[in-house]
Amino acid sequence: MDFVKMHGAGNDYIYIDLMKNKYDLDFSRLATYIADRHFGVGGDGLVLIMKG
């Protein structure tokens, strides 16, 4: 899975571009796991980039 982690002003978020990559996942569950600093990538949350 391609993602970018960005941080600034004391916060960090994981970004996944769904316009370039299609994933059939439960994103609320993924956010819980990927944001876990002891198990996953670690961050304050998950941002999904998608068509508006």
Instruction: Match 């004391």 to its residue by tokens.
Output: 10
Instruction: Match 């316009």 to its residue by tokens.
Output: 19
* pLDDT score of 27: 92
Pull the structure tokens for residue 5: 């982690």
Mean pLDDT of the chain: 94
Paired residues of 2 in beta bridges: none
* Mean pLDDT across 17-33: 93
Per-state percent for the chain, helix, strand, coil, to nearest 5? 15, 35, 50
The pTM for the full model equals 0.85
Cα separation, 46 vs 13, in Å, equals: 6
